[in-house]
Structure 1
Amino acid sequence: MSEVDQNTMKEKAAQRAADTVWSGMRLGVGTGSTVKFFIDALGKRRKEGLALGAVVTTSDRSRQQLESLGFTVGELSDVEHLDLTIDGADRVDSHLDGIKGGGGALTMEKNVAVHSLHNTWIVDESKVVDHLGGFPLPVEVLPISAKQVFNQFADEGLLPRFRTTDTNERYVTHYGNFIIDLYIDPLPAPRGLASYLDSTVGVVEHGLFLGICDTVIIAHEDNTIEIKKRQ
């Protein structure tokens, strides 16, 4: 699949998602290449009269894009809850569970998602898998104990690697933490692994988003749009 074809699919999924947004809604907006198309579509709807009650986003990049289109972006702490959050996903399975955090914003993404009444993910068909895997699982960790946590993951056979920048320095998140990517593939037992990570001292958050997504909008290469909802 060419990059042009993939971008066309992403744009179609993003447009379908934008059509589900209504005036007065308190909206959460994620980050990533597909969400960029969604924000562009949202900007067109604003010109047509869309007026949102509140907008919260998970990244500076999305904030800048939204503000450039005339939206006022607030903080999650400013709202009791969000009506809908629209985001992308790095992988999503048939149960609508997913891996997120490839862009490094997993902690904010999960905070926004769990405080939203409904979560929709927009993806192209390349992100859909039968069993979660095919993408490193990000784990955000505190710098003070990052070495110990890394060694613990290695002892457990989770194949950890510190995420690094283009200059080979450790990647630092918005909250000043490091990310350890786990290269186990496929994930042996996502819920068991999530429980293990949740209980590991030094782990801030992980990229397993289980039981969170309600709807997935999937753009296929044959120009069809598939919508899956949690049963």
Structure 2
Amino acid sequence: MSSELSPIDKAKYACAVKSVDFVKDGMRVGLGTGSTAAWMVKRLGERVRDEGLNIVAVATSTRTAQLAEEVGIKVSTLNEVEWLDLTIDGADEFDPDLNLIKGGGGAHLQEKVVATASERMIVIADAAKDVPQLGAFPLPVEVLNFGWKTTRGLIEEALEDLDVDGREITLRMSGDEPFITDEGNLVLDLHLKRIGDPRRMALILNQIPGVVENGLFIDICDVVVIGHEDGKVEVRGLGGQIMEEGTVDLGAPNLFKDI
């Protein structure tokens, strides 16, 4: 498998495989969305098939739910399960305090609801997502279709009083059409370059009429599993504490060739 994957994919594979070790029999598990999370779902499906692992999963998007069902994972809804033992999801950036930017895949609303309904949130990410300060990755903000241009104007006004290095806002597109979330909303991407105070930013954005949710995850993540291209993995807790280090075999059969 090693020769078939790019360096970044090797890192994603490593953290995805390691993260599934946190899942125990009988757990209620939230399944994230994105390329790294998809690999985690397939690895979890392997454990269900080969070990008889008995879990109930709640997906954060329709595409994750479809993948989970394909690999034999029992999928339920959050209304049915209500509370989860664990959520495993990716991130676009994480800082030393384990604050995150999420939403590159446009699923951050459901991802935040599922993560906050969990006893623990474990983030899986390659080492490039580890940043000293959030903001280089555009911040996604889900907004109502109704009056979205007015909402964008209100966000532009709010950014004038916030500690950021950029203020460009773009409507996310899917080909020639606006990208539509699972809830039927639009996504505005805020190109801020640097976010001086993520907590204040998150609070102010969610007070703006028309904003449904932003992609800042503050005080939600408990553990980050960081993957490297050589197969090394690092499990990091709050305060930068190194909880565990190890290596994932990159020579294992390629279970993820279709992702």
User: Is the pair's TM-score, using the shorter chain for normalization, greater than 0.5?
Assistant: yes
Which residue type is aligned with residue 23 of structure 2? Answer: V
| 2:168 pairs with 1:159 | yes
Report deviation, 1:222: 4.2
Aligned residues: 229
Kindly indicate whether the alpha-carbon contact (under 8 Å) linking 2:120 and 2:221 is maintained by their aligned counterparts in 1: yes
Bigger mean CA offset, 138-147 vs 83-92? 138-147
Residue by residue over 1:166-219, the C-alpha shift from the partner in whole angstroms, topping out at 9 and shown as x without a partner, is: 12x211111111111100111121111111112111110000001000000001
Residue by residue over 1:39-74, the C-alpha shift from the partner in whole angstroms, topping out at 9 and shown as x without a partner, is: 121122112324334210111221111111112211
The aligned residue for residue 116 of structure 1 is 118
**Distance of 2:151 and 2:204 partners within structure 1:** 12
| 2:204 pairs with 1:196 | yes
Kindly indicate whether the alpha-carbon contact (under 8 Å) linking 2:14 and 2:228 is maintained by their aligned counterparts in 1: no
Report deviation, 1:142: 1.0
Q: Please give the root-mean-square deviation of Cα atoms over the aligned residues, in Å.
A: 1.5
| 2:217 pairs with 1:206 | no
Which residue type is aligned with residue 182 of structure 2? Answer: H
- Summarize the alignment of residues 130-169 of structure 1 with structure 2, pairs less than 5 Å apart: 130-155=132-157, 156-157=159-160, 158-167=167-176, 169=177
**Distance of 2:5 and 2:102 partners within structure 1:** 21
**Distance of 1:171 and 1:68 partners within structure 2:** 25
Q: Secondary structure at the match of 1:172?
A: coil
Which of the residues 175, 186, 190 maps onto 1:178? 186
**Distance of 1:176 and 1:34 partners within structure 2:** 24
TM-score when scaled to structure 1? 0.94
Which residue type is aligned with residue 147 of structure 2? Answer: S
**Distance of 2:230 and 2:57 partners within structure 1:** 33
- Summarize the alignment of residues 47-126 of structure 1 with structure 2, pairs less than 5 Å apart: 47-126=49-128
Which residue type is aligned with residue 58 of structure 1? Answer: T
Q: Secondary structure at the match of 1:144?
A: coil
| 2:221 pairs with 1:219 | no
Residue by residue over 1:76-127, the C-alpha shift from the partner in whole angstroms, topping out at 9 and shown as x without a partner, is: 1111300000000000011100000010111100000000000000000011
Which residue type is aligned with residue 173 of structure 2? Answer: T
Report deviation, 1:25: 0.2
**Distance of 1:73 and 1:212 partners within structure 2:** 23
**Distance of 2:114 and 2:103 partners within structure 1:** 13
Bigger mean CA offset, 138-147 vs 91-100? 138-147
Q: Secondary structure at the match of 1:211?
A: coil
Q: Secondary structure at the match of 2:213?
A: strand
Residue by residue over 1:129-181, the C-alpha shift from the partner in whole angstroms, topping out at 9 and shown as x without a partner, is: 000021100001111121111112233343211111112x2111111111111
**Distance of 1:3 and 1:47 partners within structure 2:** 24
Bigger mean CA offset, 156-165 vs 64-73? 156-165
**Distance of 1:221 and 1:3 partners within structure 2:** 10
**Distance of 1:59 and 1:205 partners within structure 2:** 15
**Identity fraction in percent:** 40
Q: Secondary structure at the match of 1:173?
A: coil
Kindly indicate whether the alpha-carbon contact (under 8 Å) linking 1:26 and 1:52 is maintained by their aligned counterparts in 2: no
Kindly indicate whether the alpha-carbon contact (under 8 Å) linking 1:89 and 1:122 is maintained by their aligned counterparts in 2: yes
